[in-house]
Amino acid sequence: MLSPAIIEVVDDNADIRRMLALVLKSHGFNVRTHESAEAFLNAENPQMQRLLILDVRMPGMTGLELHTRLQNQGHQVPVIFMSGECQPHETTAAQSSASVDFLWKPFSTQQLLQAIERGLQLLSSETT
């Protein structure tokens, strides 16, 4: 599946970033990875639609904080949150935000691809 959107993976775990990039690229996605929310914010802003896959818990700025910051700046980027461990308030915040999905690590490739498909449908409905 070739997608005109960039899938941005933000996770402090290098193994997770590598695994997600490998899986998503093998399914035809254009992928960029970032080791932190700050690294994502400092990266070049592509002139393409984007979908974010954000780890909820990261050192420094969390995935929840990054999502809130983007929303406050007027960026309506679909977000898929993921986490291996969360406090109940973090899970509730992620699920009640305007996110596409919340995936518990470890999740299946099928779960991830279904969430991405929903996010891409949101992007395509915004441009039509």
pLDDT in tens, 37-85: 999 999 998 888 999 999 999 999 999 999 999 989 998 899 999 988 7
pLDDT at 48: 87
What pLDDT band is residue 91 in, cutting at 50, 70 and 90? low
pLDDT of residue 128 exceeding 80: no
pLDDT at 85: 78
Residue ranges with strand state E in 14-121: 30-34, 50-55, 79-83, 101-104
The residues that bridge with 65 in the sheet, in sequence order, are none
pLDDT at 127: 65
What pLDDT band is residue 88 in, cutting at 50, 70 and 90? low
pLDDT at 76: 85
Q: Model-level pTM? A: 0.90
Comparing CA positions, the residue from 33, 29, 32 lying closest to residue 1 is 29
The residue among 1 and 24 whose pLDDT is bigger is 24
Alpha-carbon gap, residue 94 to 109, rounded angstroms = 21
